[in-house]
Amino acid sequence: MSRRLFVALTPPDAVRAEVERAAGHLRRALPHARARYADAASTHLTLVFLGQVAEADVHAVRRATLAAASTTRRFASRTAALGAFPNPGRPSVLWLGLEDDGGLADLQGTLVEALAGHSADSGRQRFVPHLTLARVNTRRGIDRDQMAAALATFEPAAVPWPVADVVLFESELRREGARHTPLLTASLGQPKARPEAGERDG
């Protein structure tokens, strides 16, 4: 038996509101785009995707997540401009960027190292902090110039995001979409964590 796990940050309400504002801008700027927009209520910033983890190893993952969080300073991030993966000319994912003074990259690097023995994420890909707004089903109906204009005309609000903890999630893939259940909330700079209601350590 195994669990599909990942470690992420969950944004405050003000950042979720900015996600909704950014998505609304894209809907208006790209009315003919065939895209599936994300639910702002469940948005998160994935730091490490572990993939399928054996049940016997879940406790070790929890301990590693706690240890990594306890040695990482708290910091402040903020929302930034819009972007697209792999690039605006061939968009498959539209996103709202995040920026700070290096805290996100440091935290992500620490977690990748701590969870290296359990993770499907090697950390070799360049880490681009972002919140997914939409996944493009097909590029038909999206003009290159229209896409460039849609991204460029968005006015970033630089909404602050005080980052104080990370969350270990279990992801269950269902027909109606993935369901993410928090297993552990680990405070940055603190040796202890807050297990979620109904969850036991291990």
Lowest-confidence region among 44-53, 110-119, 162-171? 110-119
For residue 202, being part of any structural domain is answered with: no
Residue percentage of the chain with pLDDT more than 70: 90
The structural domain count of the chain equals 1
Q: How far apart are CA 35 and CA 50, in angstroms?
A: 27
Dist CA 67 CA 51 (whole Å):
20
Predicted pLDDT of residue 140: 75
Percent of the chain with pLDDT over 90: 77
- Residue given tokens 């969950």 in the structure block: 10
For the stretch 24-83, pLDDT in tens is: 999 999 998 899 999 999 999 999 999 999 999 999 999 999 999 999 999 999 999 999
> Of 93, 75, 97, 74, nearest to 84 (Cα)?
93
Whether 200 is in a domain gets the answer: no
* pLDDT score of 201: 45
Mean pLDDT, rounded, of the chain: 90
Q: Whole-model pTM? A: 0.88
Where in the sequence is the domain holding 151, given as residue range(s)? 2-195
The answer to whether the beta carbons of residues 97 and 129 sit under 8 Å apart is: yes
- CATH code at position 175: 3.90.1140.10
Assign residue 29 a region (left: φ > 0; alpha: ψ between -120 and 50; beta: otherwise).
alpha
CA distance 189 to 40: 28
* 35 Rama class: left (phi>0) / alpha (psi -120 to 50) / beta: beta
Please report whether residue 201 resides in a domain.
no
Q: What does the pLDDT read at residue 179?
A: 87
CA gyration radius for the chain? 18
pLDDT at position 163, please? Answer: 97
pLDDT at 124 over 70: no
